[in-house]
Amino acid sequence: MGISMSVRQQLLELGPPMDEGAVAWEIPRDAVSIQDTPLLAGVDPYGYTVFNRVQIEDQLPREIAFLRHELDPTFHQALDELTRLIAVAKQRVHRYVWFEGD
Protein backbone atom coordinates (compact mmCIF):
# COMPACT_ATOMS: atom_id res chain seq x y z
CA MET A 1 0.00 0.00 0.00
CA GLY A 2 2.87 2.44 0.62
CA ILE A 3 2.92 5.60 2.68
CA SER A 4 0.06 8.08 2.86
CA MET A 5 0.02 11.68 4.13
CA SER A 6 -2.74 13.50 5.96
CA VAL A 7 -3.42 16.31 8.43
CA ARG A 8 -4.86 15.33 11.78
CA GLN A 9 -5.94 17.44 14.69
CA GLN A 10 -4.71 15.22 17.49
CA LEU A 11 -1.28 13.90 18.23
CA LEU A 12 -1.87 11.10 20.73
CA GLU A 13 -5.11 9.74 19.34
CA LEU A 14 -5.44 8.79 15.71
CA GLY A 15 -8.41 10.92 14.67
CA PRO A 16 -9.82 11.16 11.15
CA PRO A 17 -7.96 13.17 8.52
CA MET A 18 -9.01 16.83 8.38
CA ASP A 19 -9.00 17.13 4.60
CA GLU A 20 -10.56 15.02 1.87
CA GLY A 21 -8.43 12.03 2.64
CA ALA A 22 -4.96 10.62 2.76
CA VAL A 23 -2.62 11.33 -0.13
CA ALA A 24 0.12 9.01 -1.35
CA TRP A 25 3.74 9.89 -0.60
CA GLU A 26 5.56 8.61 -3.67
CA ILE A 27 9.06 10.01 -3.32
CA PRO A 28 11.78 7.37 -3.82
CA ARG A 29 13.53 6.42 -0.57
CA ASP A 30 16.95 7.02 -2.14
CA ALA A 31 15.99 10.66 -2.90
CA VAL A 32 15.94 11.59 0.78
CA SER A 33 18.96 11.66 3.07
CA ILE A 34 19.77 12.58 6.66
CA GLN A 35 22.07 15.32 5.39
CA ASP A 36 19.72 17.06 2.93
CA THR A 37 16.22 16.09 4.08
CA PRO A 38 16.51 14.95 7.71
CA LEU A 39 12.79 15.04 8.53
CA LEU A 40 11.64 13.24 5.39
CA ALA A 41 14.49 10.74 5.67
CA GLY A 42 12.98 9.76 9.02
CA VAL A 43 9.55 8.86 7.64
CA ASP A 44 8.81 5.32 8.81
CA PRO A 45 7.51 3.23 5.87
CA TYR A 46 5.95 0.72 8.34
CA GLY A 47 4.53 2.99 11.05
CA TYR A 48 3.50 6.53 11.89
CA THR A 49 5.62 9.66 11.54
CA VAL A 50 4.16 12.93 12.81
CA PHE A 51 5.45 16.46 12.20
CA ASN A 52 4.55 19.31 14.52
CA ARG A 53 4.01 23.03 13.89
CA VAL A 54 7.66 24.05 14.25
CA GLN A 55 8.77 21.33 11.85
CA ILE A 56 6.12 22.14 9.25
CA GLU A 57 6.76 25.86 9.40
CA ASP A 58 10.55 25.83 9.35
CA GLN A 59 12.20 22.64 8.11
CA LEU A 60 9.73 20.84 5.83
CA PRO A 61 9.43 23.74 3.34
CA ARG A 62 13.23 23.73 2.94
CA GLU A 63 13.23 19.99 2.33
CA ILE A 64 10.42 20.32 -0.22
CA ALA A 65 12.36 23.05 -2.06
CA PHE A 66 15.47 20.87 -2.10
CA LEU A 67 13.55 17.89 -3.52
CA ARG A 68 11.86 20.06 -6.17
CA HIS A 69 15.30 21.05 -7.38
CA GLU A 70 16.73 17.50 -7.25
CA LEU A 71 13.85 15.34 -8.46
CA ASP A 72 12.32 14.80 -11.85
CA PRO A 73 9.05 16.79 -12.23
CA THR A 74 7.07 13.53 -12.27
CA PHE A 75 7.50 13.47 -8.48
CA HIS A 76 6.38 17.07 -7.93
CA GLN A 77 2.74 16.08 -7.42
CA ALA A 78 3.60 14.44 -4.09
CA LEU A 79 5.53 17.58 -3.10
CA ASP A 80 2.56 19.76 -4.13
CA GLU A 81 0.27 17.67 -1.94
CA LEU A 82 2.64 17.89 1.01
CA THR A 83 2.79 21.67 0.55
CA ARG A 84 -1.03 21.79 0.54
CA LEU A 85 -1.23 19.68 3.70
CA ILE A 86 1.26 21.97 5.42
CA ALA A 87 -0.99 24.93 4.57
CA VAL A 88 -4.01 23.11 6.03
CA ALA A 89 -2.09 22.28 9.20
CA LYS A 90 -0.87 25.85 9.64
CA GLN A 91 -4.41 27.27 9.65
CA ARG A 92 -4.92 26.41 13.34
CA VAL A 93 -2.99 25.16 16.33
CA HIS A 94 -2.97 21.49 17.33
CA ARG A 95 -2.74 20.21 13.76
CA TYR A 96 -0.08 17.80 12.63
CA VAL A 97 1.11 16.36 9.34
CA TRP A 98 1.00 12.57 9.52
CA PHE A 99 2.77 10.01 7.38
CA GLU A 100 1.28 6.53 7.73
CA GLY A 101 3.15 3.48 6.48
CA ASP A 102 1.85 -0.02 5.87
DSSP letters, 29-42, are: GGG--TTT-HHHHT
Question: At 97, is the secondary structure helix, strand, or coil?
Answer: strand
CA dist 47 and 5 (Å) reads 12
12 pLDDT higher than 60: no
Q: Which has the closest alpha carbon to 7: 15, 18, 16?
A: 18
Q: How confident is the model at residue 69, as a pLDDT? A: 96
Q: Which pLDDT tens digit goes with each residue over 25-39?
A: 889 989 999 999 999
> Which residues partner with 25 through β-bridges?
3
